Structure formats: structure tokens, C-alpha cells
Structure 1
Amino acid sequence: MLSAPTALIAIIGPVEPALLTAWTAHYRALGIEDFRLAFHFPDHVPHAWQHQLVTTSRDLGIVPTKISTGSWHEHTNTELRDALREQAGPGWHLLADSDEFHTYPAPLAEVTAAAESAGRQVVGGLMLDRAAADGRLAHWRPETGLDRAFPLGGHLTHRLLHGDPRKIVLARSGVPVASGNHRASGHKPDPDALACVHHFKWRMGVLDDLQRRVEKFTAGDWAEHTPAVREEASRLLDHIDRHHGRIDVADPRLAFRRVTLDQLPTGWTAEARTIATCWHPHATTSHR
């Protein structure tokens, strides 16, 4: 017997209202109807921005489950996410950050049905970082669209930043998921059915966010479990400095190429399987 319809669980930070609108449309097109969102705003975010985002959510027909402000400790996301999952109840939970747009190898109902038939309680994904054609951290307009503004997809997160690119994108309600949605202890996703997690983080404004993250974690104003998040942010800032304010999309290690949200990248199944099964924490980075 198939489970109840999937609920989307997400913590929304101070993103552009247009991104929230595009994100919501993307998941509605995948068949999501139940959105369980919590908004969290660090103290530096202007009240007008907070109000605009919450208003946008309501205009989209989504009433936030929780709105909070204050420090963005490493455990903040996890605690808010787990509270949302508890409220969502039984069934499948789709886990996505507000800059993550999933592309699946089949319709969502078929993906969860296949996992259930195989006795699996999680579905995995692999991050593919999206970038502008020239590597700039670009501003984008809704009329342009994300695919046109950020047409390239590559492996920035793990090959340059030494971050974990693996994601748990769907989990049964009773399955605990680690911080950052990277793992679910005791549960292995099918390596031949990994979703593509298009990661639209590298937009205008992200450098200020990363610099603030480094400063707050270093000073101890925001609590961290390991230095991994801070180290990843520092690596990106260093890379951008060396390349005159851009991501080096021509670096063959990063494998940037043109991709779109409406289909899996060419050769994705084998590529994602290889990366997911071979990835291990970098020697100098703690495993989150």
C-alpha cells in the first residue's frame, strides 16, 4: 500500500522573494501540495525583508508553520526541520533548502513507490552547483529564469569546497536525518536512482552571507559542531578572490556544463553513482 502524499519540509532564510516564488512553483510542478515551511531570520535581516518574504509565502497560499529570528547556529536548521517533520506526520518527507531544486529520474509518486517496493526508507540525491555562464555571482530576475541566469552545472561543493555533495532528498517520517540532510544513519539510498539537486546558492549577495558566517562562527557568536561549514565558506571566498570575483567555471576539475531543471543531465545516473559511492571527507575536514 502506498503512503500518504509527500510533504515538503524546508527552512527558509533571507532569500529573494522571487526565489521563493520560483522554488514553490518548481515543487508544485512535481506534485507537492503540502508545504511545511519555517522562516528563520538572523538579526541583521531588515524587518521589511522579513515581512516581504512572509507575505510572499502567504500570497503563494502557504502559511508558515513557524517564524523565528536570532542567531543561526549550526543546530538551528536541524531543530526547526525536525519540528516540522514531527508536525507533518506519517508518510514521505521531501527535504529541500530554499536554494535547492530537485530533478528526479521519474515522477515523484513513482520514485517513492519504487523505494517502497525495494524496502528502502530514503531516496538520495547529489548536489550539482549552478553558475552563471561567466562565473559571476549574478543577480537574476524572475523574467529571466534560473536556467537562463545560471545555465551551468558543476561539482563545486565537493571538488573545491570539500563539502559533502550527498543529500537525502526523501525520507520516511520515522527516519532520522543528519544535519544538512546529508545522511540518514542506517539507511542507504539506491545509488542508481539519485536525484539531481540543482544548487542555486552562487548568486549576488552570497559573499556577504559567507563572510558573516565565517566571522560569527569564528567569534563563537553562532555555535558550530565542527569547523566544516566555516572552512567551506572560507575556501569559496578564497577562490573568488583569486579569480577576480568569479567562480572559475573553466576549471576542468569542476566539470561545469550546460544543464536544465526539466531533465537529468546527460549521463547523470552513472556520474552521480560514482561520486556518491566514492566520496569521503577531505583529510582536513571533519565529517558533518
Structure 2
Amino acid sequence: MHYLFPDIEPYTSSRHMRMKHELLTRFVSKEDWIFQVDADELAVLPDGLTAHAHLSKLEAAGENVMFGLMLDRLASDGDIDKAPNYMTTLFEQYPLNCAVTTLLQGSDMRKVTAYKGYLRTTSGNHAVIGLSHDLAQRVKEDTGHMEALKEQVRQVYGYISDMLPLDKGQLHAIYPAGRFASIFHFKWVRGLRKKLERRKITEEYTIAQYAPILQELYISKATGLGFSFRPSSLQRLCQDVLTPALRSLSSFEFMNLFFNIKPAQVEARLNNYGARSEGEREQHLAKLLMVLVQHGVSREDGFPSV
């Protein structure tokens, strides 16, 4: 049996979150895994594993969430009014890996890619509502603190908080996976500018959010039509190496894109830790990347999410 739940424009993040939580409450059990991506995203998992194989691996490790990092795919000339066609793959048409969402828009680079059915994500799917390691320890030491945390969720999300699956009245602890999926984001195509203009009206907070992006665009002098990112912007926001192949990025590639870490610094650190094989190098860099991402993510003080 198939279910269709159309949502009518204008889009707002709050309406999207409400519908998402209602659907999950109705159709998902606590034992299920939820694999969640937006319509303009493609998630590629580490090590070339299928979704089933990777989720089985997470389950065996006692992990209940997998995050991905957002990779904005742009046309090689930065044209955001280019319409996709069916003659070649999207990866060939939009070959640049860029960090527009993170570096210009200032949004969280993480997206919640997969999570257990007893968890729920925040409105933008950038975080999971629940207890971090530190909050879980604090709740053990102060049993009354859990009620304060649940009240915070109610204050932010209203009646949606009543749909949160709880563990004997408590928020669930969150155990993230140690590797990131690659979330290829095919947002920068024809129609985007009109969408941003609409959201200025439906969600005023996006005016400031998207202003830095609009400032980086210019009208092509060659045609007088279409908007593109400036060449200097592409140099600053995108990786030098084109990656048309469908594969997940390595931890070093993620660090190079988001944090501009120099290869010599990475090599020195790996040598210092005695990481020689490819597996040892990736394992160490994955831990380093996790630390860098956590430090780069801003969270509301004390709000129960990871």
C-alpha cells in the first residue's frame, strides 16, 4: 500500500517538521531505521556500502544516528540558472564539490542521514533531539534535570514535542556513528533564485540567511542572462579537484573543503601517530574530522540535541 501526503505551498520549515513528525508517529516503529534526505539530495555512504549493510553495521556497534556532510554541487562555471538535462549524469553536469551552504549561508554542515525510529530530528534535519553524552551524565546526577530538558523542547516545538517517542518518560541518549555520509546537494539549478525570493515572503528570517549568497552572484556578461557565482567565489568555496564519480568523500577531502587544512599538516599529524596503512589513516582522520565538525557546529545552549 502506498501513501501520498501532498504539502501545499508556501513552504515553511515549521509546516514541514509538523508533517514529518506526524508521518513518523503514524507509520514508523521504534525498531525501524529512518533514512532521510531532501528531494535535491543524494546520500552516498562510506566504504561503498549499501544502506542495508551500513545500517546493520551501525546496529551492531550500538550506534543510533548517522550524520552526513552537505556537499553543494555546482556547474563548473558557477552558473546557477543551468537546467539539468537527461543526456549526462547530474555529477557530470554539476562537477564541483562546494561548501556554499556552510561557508556563505552559515548553516550547519551536518545533515541527519539515518536514525532509529525512536528518535526525531529538528526542523532542518541538522540535529537529533535527545541526550548527548554530557547531558546523559548530567541527567544521571540530577534526575530533575530531565523535566527541564523536556520543557525546553516544548517551548521550542510546541505540541510537536508531545509526539516525541520517550524511553520511560525520558529523552533517548544519542550515539552517533564515527563516519560521515556524503550528502550531494543539487540545489544550485534553474529556479533557485525565484525560490529564494518566495521564501523572503513566507519566511522572513531567510532574508539574512541568503543575503551573503545573493551578493556572490553576478549576471553573465556574455549573454546578459542567468546568474553565476563569481570565479573568485568558486576558488574560495569549492575543491580544486573535480569529483564526477559517485563515491563518498574521504575524511581528508571533507577537511580540505570545510576547514582548508593543509596536506602537509595532515601528513605530519598522521606520521606523529604512526598511521601508515590506508585504513589506519582514515580511522585517525575520521576522529579528527568529528572533533572539527563538533567544534564548528553551534547549538542552542543546553538544548537537548546532538
State the TM-score, normalizing by the size of structure 2: 0.62
Could you tell me how far 1:181 is from its partner in structure 2? 0.7
Shift of residue 188 of structure 1?
Answer: 4.7
1:95 aligned partner, one-letter code: Q
Aligned to 2:62, the other structure's residue is in SS state coil
Aligned counterpart, 1:265: 249
Alignment of 1:48-197 (within 5 A): 63-90=2-29, 91-105=32-46, 106-137=49-80, 138-185=82-129, 186=131, 187-190=174-177, 192-197=178-183
**C-alpha spacing 1:249/1:145, structure 2 compared with 1 (3 Å):** farther
1:253 maps to amino acid: R
Gaps of 5+ in 1: 1-61, 219-226
Q: Tell me the SS of whatever aligns to 1:69.
A: coil
1:198 aligns with 2:142: no
Larger % of strand: which? 1
User: How far apart in 2 are the matches of 1:200 and 1:102?
Assistant: 11
> Retained in 2: the 8 A contact 1:139–1:203?
yes
Does the 8 Å CA contact 2:96/2:238 hold for their aligned counterparts?
Answer: no
Check conservation: 1:93, 1:172, Cα contact below 8 A.
Answer: yes
Secondary structure, counterpart of 1:182 in structure 2: coil
Over the matched positions of the two proteins, sequence identity in percent amounts to 21
Superposed CA deviations along residues 39-91 of structure 1, whole A, max 9, x for unmatched, are xxxxxxxxxxxxxxxxxxxxxxx945212324322201111211222233220
- SS across alignment from 1:67: coil
Structure 1 vs Structure 2 CA RMSD:
2.6
Shift of 1:263: 0.9
The alpha carbon displacement at 1:265 in A equals 2.6
- Is 1:103–1:196's contact at 8 Å kept on the other side of the alignment? yes
Higher relative contact order (CA 8 A, sep 6+): 2
Deviation, 1:116, is 1.4
Alpha-carbon distance, 1:140 to partner: 1.3
Task: Give the AA of the match of 2:183.
Answer: V
- What's the CA shift for 1:206? 0.1
CA distance in structure 1 between the aligned counterparts of 2:230 and 2:176, rounded to whole angstroms:
32
Matched positions, count: 212
Superposed CA deviations along residues 180-230 of structure 1, whole A, max 9, x for unmatched, are 11011322522x310000000000110010011113323xxxxxxxx3x44
What secondary structure, in the 3-state scheme, does the structure 2 residue paired with 1:179 have?
coil
Question: What one-letter code is carried by the residue in structure 2 that aligns with 1:116?
Answer: E
Q: 1:260 to 1:81 in 2, by over 3 A?
A: farther
User: Taking structure 1 as reference, are residues 84 and 246 closer, same or farther at Cα in structure 2, changes over 3 Å only?
Assistant: same
> Compared with structure 1, are the counterparts of its residues 249 and 193 closer, same or farther at alpha carbon in structure 2 (3 Å cutoff)?
farther
Q: TM-score, normalised by structure 1?
A: 0.66
- Distance apart, 1:243 and its partner CA: 8.5
Amino acid at match of 2:67: G
> Hey, which of these two has a bigger chunk of helix by percent?
2
8 Å CA contact 1:163–1:281 kept in 2: the answer is no
Letter of the 1:169 partner, please give it. T
How far apart in 2 are the matches of 1:157 and 1:175?
25
CA contact (8 A) 2:73 2:186 kept: yes
Deviations 1:136-191 (A, max 9, x none): 0111112222011101111111111111111110011110111111011322522x
The higher radius of gyration belongs to 2
Unpaired runs of 5+ in structure 2?
Answer: 132-173, 222-226, 254-281, 300-304
